[in-house]
Amino acid sequence: MIPSARQVQPDFLPETGEMGKRIRSFNWSETSVGPIESWPEPLRTAVRICIGSRHPIVLWWGRSGLTQFYNDAYISFLGDGKHPYWLGGSGRDCWSEIWHIIEPMIESVFDTGEATWSEDLLLVLNRSLPREEGYFTFSYSPIWDDFANVAGIFCVCYETTGRVIGERRLRTLRDLGRTVMQARTEKEACELTADTLSRNRADIPFTLLYLTDDKGASAHLVATVGVDGDSEAAPVRIDLTAPLENTAWPLRHVIDTGSAELVTDLESRFGPLPGGPWPESSESAFVLPIGSACQARPVGFLIAGLSPRRIIDSDYRSFLDLIAGHLATAIANARASEEDRRRAEALAELDRAKTQFFSNVSHEFRTPLTLMLGPLENVLATENLSVPASEQLTAAHQSSLRLLKLVNSLLDFSRIEAGRVKASYAPVDLASFTADLASHFRSAMESGGLELHVDCPPLPQPVYVDREMWEKIVLNLLSNAFKFTLNGKVTVRLECNDSEAALSVSDTGVGIQEAELPHIFERFHRIEGAMGRTYEGTGIGLALVQELIHLHGGTVTVASVIGKGTTFTVRIPLGKEHLPPDRVRLVGAEPLSASRVEGYVEEAWGWLAGVHDEKPAPAAIAQIGERNARVLLADDNADMRDYVRRLLNGYVHVNAVSNGQEALSSALSDPPDLILSDVMMPVLDGFALLRELRAHPETSTIPVILLSARAGEESRVEGISAGADDYLVKPFSAQELIARVATHVNMARQRQAAMENLRQRETELRRANEDLTQFAYSATHDLKEPLRNVSIYSQLLLRKLGATADTETQQYLNSLLHEAERMAMLLRDLLTYTQVATDASLSPWSDAGVALKKAVEDLQQAIAESHAEIIADSLPALAVAEVHLHQLLQNLIGNAIKYRDPVKPPRVRVAAIRQDSYWRFVVEDNGIGIAPEYHKRIFGLFKRLHSPSRYSGTGIGLALVKRIVELYGGQVWVESEPGNGAAFFFTLPAGDQK
């Protein structure tokens, strides 16, 4: 029973403070400590320190009773339910809910006299709530009596609940701010928020996140924590127009009021809900709107379950508001990002449409340009043309070339902007190539009163460039220099250091104002009022140059002085490490079409007044030697068909059709010597036609030249990769078309003659091989009998002499037997080698697994003696004779066992993987290995790396392997290093799967 109070006036207690007054007036005589006047001095001192301190202190006196004393600062630890009722009462009863935690500490102090220390210890108290989460730092110290015994416990304590929970919530907000802002969509923002909140179930036992639809008529569940979606507490959809009593959560009320709503009857609504780490069910939840700066209505809702062991105070509410604020910001950012993405996609679509437009326009322009330039060039090449007619035709030709150059520039730049340019870098003699490009301008510059200096000494190494791009770079810079240089000279200089090649194009022209230099490479930028040979231009040239140089990993700079001239300097790195590996080729490209160079040069001639007659005359049209050759032409443009037919009819027979399907039918019924095909055609386009031609044996070898308006190296590569023999870009010159047709027709005729010679030679070799096989068979048969006799008589002689033979005689006879056996083995392998390709009775289909099993059985003695381990994956059936597979595997596995490591048993792995129409086999071992310089040598006939005394054998085994593999059109090779084993690879045709 708790004693009643009565008035006493002990002198040792302070008279200030609530607890000082209560202790002075308390009736202690009814407690185990007795009246105040009878208290021992240690208790009086401890109580006096407790009452006088501003730190929270509690003390218990007496091990059995644990009478409780505390000061004013400690009252908050007790709460209204325990203060002041437990003054003078038993500490054990007062703190019964946590006694199982603190009793061992208290008993330890009584037993040992040593103080304890606990920091941020979780204690669930019966305080503001029946079970309230709290954190405390405290120490239990002994109070000694006059007899040196522990008579009580003195406890100074601090409540750290606010700090611990505050840090926990701050960590959640920090993680939320770091992760949720990375969201790219509203849904992702909600999912990231839910994931972050799932790591703080102590404050938010469960979470529901809803987003409203575009019309605001309903909210859809996006993410949950702790509650299953589509349950009673977490409906997938909540109708925001329905009456409040018909919805699971008061979302409509939150919209109407614009503020959060506290729901306190969760268990009656939904039954028990998660309490986080606590066993109690969460009884309350906040429904918070997720606001938007762009609209009055919320874009979503955060439903946050509340901890059953924390009171709902302002800190708790502020924490939830901050979470909702983070989520609202993340959703706003995601919406902005989504809008940016949509705008970017729209712009990209516009860019694609623009690029497609340029491509289509280019295609449409190139065909009429071909039909303009070709006839003009043909007429200008004729003799007895009147001067007025020549001048007019020359002007028309120059205008056509200028139009072509403009079309090419626009298309190039649009493709670069769209990221569709795919360069093809190859090692180029850059000095020779650059000097050749510059030489095309010499005549025009000299006619314009300029000197052209070309200083391009040989470089120490080839430079990796895209030839077509480099051509455009040089031609644009030279054209620009000529245009703005009225007198003096233009200098082209190429030099090289250890890391880069540098091209400079200098002139003595009008120069560029300093204010214009930062803008000189901007697209469509033109310098107003600049004095030059013409004011014409699109402002694309230098922008295109810069983009092309960037694709090479290089830079371009400009230096200029008004009235003295300008120097453009291009620097590109040496080597190929800076370039995309998949765009690098090891061999240079073929020379490009001359039409582009001609376009720049013709434009330059057009800037010279009164010197047209000085321009070099066009070259004469080349002749095609094979006049009886037949060419099939496929093009949907009737004018183009007529033009090409007129060009070629004097040299070859031309059969013209209007689409790819007609071309295919014609080629299959009457194969021509050459096919000229447009790429863009109805019914069957050029690429589809090419695939069909290559798929039929009767047309698979016919040379095909694709004609296309699609310019650029990637288009050329696409055409060649598809199987075309050549790719000609419209507009093309008559000379170029005739030259390429002549080249491919002549090459086709030469191939046909070579194939006929090859077939004749194969017939002769087959006959010779049959003769060789017959000879080998006869020779080995004739040699086997005397060898057998040598072996038999040597064995008989050894048995007859027996122990009477001296050691030297026995050695001689044993050596004779060994060499006879080796000779027999050599004859057997040699016969196998010569017969391997001649047995027509062999089945062309077998199971590699069965062949391996037989090979292992034949090698069983060697496997047992060496303790070899043979490991095999599942092996396929394929179009190879079983006896050949058996010979391959037996030779390779036998070699692996023979050339094993002397200190460990051999381990051989056999596996196969499918690669297109072939199977690639590997026989891998852990043996002594093979030095790289011998990797090819070992497959030669009678090639050995070791003496017969060290490793027995005939030197035919691997040669036989190579012969069998090549018989089926496969390849064999080895990968090995000394001491690291060897892996023998070979490929064999798969055939049709059975």
Q: State pLDDT tens for residues 668-690.
A: 999 998 999 988 888 888 888 98
Examine the pLDDT at 164 and tell me if it is beyond 90.
Answer: yes
Q: Is the peptide bond prior to 905 cis by the omega test (within 30 degrees of 0)?
A: no
Question: What is residue 321's three-state secondary structure?
Answer: helix
Q: State pLDDT tens for residues 646-656.
A: 888 778 888 99
pLDDT of the residue at 910? 94
pLDDT of the residue at 587? 62
List, in sequence order, every residue forming a beta bridge with 556; answer none if it has no partner.
570
Choose among 904, 880, 909: nearest CA to 893: 909
Distance (Å, whole) CA 574 – CA 223: 55
pLDDT of the residue at 2? 43
pLDDT of the residue at 42? 93
Question: What is residue 992's three-state secondary structure?
Answer: coil
Q: Which two tokens stand for residue 628?
A: 């009886």
List, in sequence order, every residue forming a beta bridge with 88; answer none if it has no partner.
none
Higher per-residue pLDDT: 223 or 805: 223
Quickly list H helices, 698-733. 713-721
Count of CB atoms situated within 10 Å of the CB of 336: 11
Return the top range by mean pLDDT from 158-162, 296-300, 374-378, 380-384: 158-162
E-strand stretches of 862-940: 869-872, 877-878, 907-915, 918-924
Q: State pLDDT tens for residues 2-22.
A: 444 444 445 667 667 888 888
Higher per-residue pLDDT: 81 or 110: 110
pLDDT of the residue at 993? 47
Distance (Å, whole) CA 94 – CA 5: 19
Look-up: residue for tokens 């027999």?
Answer: 824
Q: What is the mean pLDDT of the chain?
A: 81
Of the pLDDT bands very low, low, confident and very high (cuts 50, 70, 90), residue 140 is very high
Higher per-residue pLDDT: 946 or 660: 660
Count of CB atoms situated within 10 Å of the CB of 164: 18
- Mode of pairing for the β-strands spanning 674-678 and 630-634: parallel
E-strand stretches of 241-330: 261-263, 285-292, 295-305
Higher per-residue pLDDT: 696 or 807: 696
Rounded to an integer, the average pLDDT of 565-588 is 86
Length of the chain: 994
> CB–CB of 744/725 below 8 Å?
yes
Higher per-residue pLDDT: 406 or 146: 146
Distance (Å, whole) CA 165 – CA 336: 34
Count of CB atoms situated within 10 Å of the CB of 317: 15
Of the pLDDT bands very low, low, confident and very high (cuts 50, 70, 90), residue 89 is very high
Choose among 815, 876, 880: nearest CA to 844: 880
Rounded to an integer, the average pLDDT of 584-607 is 66
Choose among 647, 661, 652, 662: nearest CA to 744: 652
Q: Is 187 exposed, middle or buried (0-12, 13-18, 19+ CB in 10 A)?
A: middle
Distance (Å, whole) CA 38 – CA 755: 129
Examine the pLDDT at 92 and tell me if it is beyond 60.
Answer: yes
pLDDT of the residue at 622? 44
pLDDT of the residue at 67? 94
Q: State pLDDT tens for residues 785-825.
A: 665 666 676 677 667 766 666 676 666 666 666 656 655 55
Choose among 239, 584, 658: nearest CA to 428: 584
Exposure b/e, 275-304, CB count within 10 A at least 16 = b: bbebeebbbbbbbbbbbbeeeeebbbbbbb
pLDDT of the residue at 945? 52
pLDDT of the residue at 994? 41
Examine the pLDDT at 758 and tell me if it is beyond 70.
Answer: no
Of the pLDDT bands very low, low, confident and very high (cuts 50, 70, 90), residue 969 is confident
Rounded to an integer, the average pLDDT of 562-569 is 91
Q: State pLDDT tens for residues 431-478.
A: 999 998 888 888 888 888 889 999 999 998 899 998 888 998 999 899
Examine the pLDDT at 590 and tell me if it is beyond 60.
Answer: no
Among 514-523, 687-696, 766-775, the least confident range: 766-775
Q: Which two tokens stand for residue 695?
A: 């798929």
Higher per-residue pLDDT: 283 or 778: 283
Sheet containing strand 982-989, strands side by side? 869-872, 907-915, 918-924, 982-989, 972-976
CA angle 867, 871, 875 (to 5 degrees): 145
Distance (Å, whole) CA 338 – CA 186: 9
Residue 56 C-alpha from the chain's centroid: 63
Query: Backbone phi, then psi, for 546, in 5-degree steps?
Result: -60, -45
Count of CB atoms situated within 10 Å of the CB of 162: 11
Distance (Å, whole) CA 790 – CA 817: 8
pLDDT of the residue at 949? 46
Rounded to an integer, the average pLDDT of 858-871 is 89
Element (H, E) at 655: strand 653-657
Choose among 281, 186, 279: nearest CA to 233: 281
Q: State pLDDT tens for residues 277-316.
A: 999 999 999 999 998 766 678 889 999 999 999 999 999 9
> CB–CB of 507/488 below 8 Å?
yes
Q: State pLDDT tens for residues 403-432.
A: 766 667 666 666 666 666 777 888 999 999
Query: Backbone phi, then psi, for 894, in 5-degree steps?
Result: -60, -40
Q: State pLDDT tens for residues 703-751.
A: 999 887 665 555 566 667 677 888 887 777 777 788 888 888 887 777 7
pLDDT of the residue at 766? 61
> CB–CB of 794/823 below 8 Å?
no
Distance (Å, whole) CA 958 – CA 895: 9
Q: Which two tokens stand for residue 52?
A: 């006088």
The DSSP secondary-structure symbol of 941 reads T
Distance (Å, whole) CA 702 – CA 684: 18
Of the pLDDT bands very low, low, confident and very high (cuts 50, 70, 90), residue 55 is very high
Distance (Å, whole) CA 972 – CA 982: 13
Higher per-residue pLDDT: 389 or 136: 136
Among 63-67, 83-87, 615-619, the least confident range: 615-619
> pTM, whole model, 2 decimals?
0.45
Q: Which two tokens stand for residue 834?
A: 């010569």
Quickly list H helices, 160-250. 161-179, 186-197
Q: What are the DSSP calls for 531-546, one per residue? A: -SS-----S-HHHHHH
Rounded to an integer, the average pLDDT of 229-239 is 90
pLDDT of the residue at 613? 45
Count of CB atoms situated within 10 Å of the CB of 455: 13
Distance (Å, whole) CA 976 – CA 928: 9
Higher per-residue pLDDT: 708 or 1: 708
Q: What are the DSSP calls for 14-71, one per residue? A: -S-SHHHHHHHHB-GGGSTT--GGG--HHHHHHHHHHHH-SS-EEEEE-TTT-EEEE-
Distance (Å, whole) CA 427 – CA 587: 6
Distance (Å, whole) CA 214 – CA 217: 8
Examine the pLDDT at 194 and tell me if it is beyond 90.
Answer: yes
Percent of the chain with pLDDT over 70: 75
Question: What is residue 144's three-state secondary structure?
Answer: strand
